């Protein structure tokens, strides 16, 4: 399973919008590309989201 799919499933399971999730971590448009597999999120983005 791709990291973007895992992030998407974790976020939607908790009913959190992408904008709320990444507030102060990265741009929502960048995160959207991470979730859809267009980009691979960097360590700092993933770490910030998981905290």
**CATH number of the domain that 13 lies in?**
1.10.260.40
The reported pLDDT for the residue numbered 51 is 84
CB-CB contact of 18 with 32 (8 Å): yes
- What global pTM score does this model have? 0.82
Which range marks the domain in which residue 31 is found? 3-50
1-51 residue pLDDT tens: 699 999 999 999 999 999 999 999 999 999 999 999 999 999 999 999 888
Domain count, the chain: 1
Query: Mind listing the pLDDT tens digit for each residue in 27-36?
Result: 999 999 999 9
Look-up of token digits 């980009």: 39
pLDDT of residue 1: 65
Burial 6-37 (b: 16+ CB within 10 A, else e): ebbeebeeeeeebeebbeebbeeeebbebbee
Q: Which residue has the tokens 């998407």?
A: 8
């Amino acid at each position: 399973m791709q990291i973007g799919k895992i992030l998407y499933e974790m976020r939607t399971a908790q009913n959190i919008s992408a904008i709320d999730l990444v507030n102060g971590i990265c741009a929502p448009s960048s995160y959207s590309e991470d979730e859809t597999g267009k980009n691979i999120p960097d360590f700092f983005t993933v770490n910030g989201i998981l905290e």
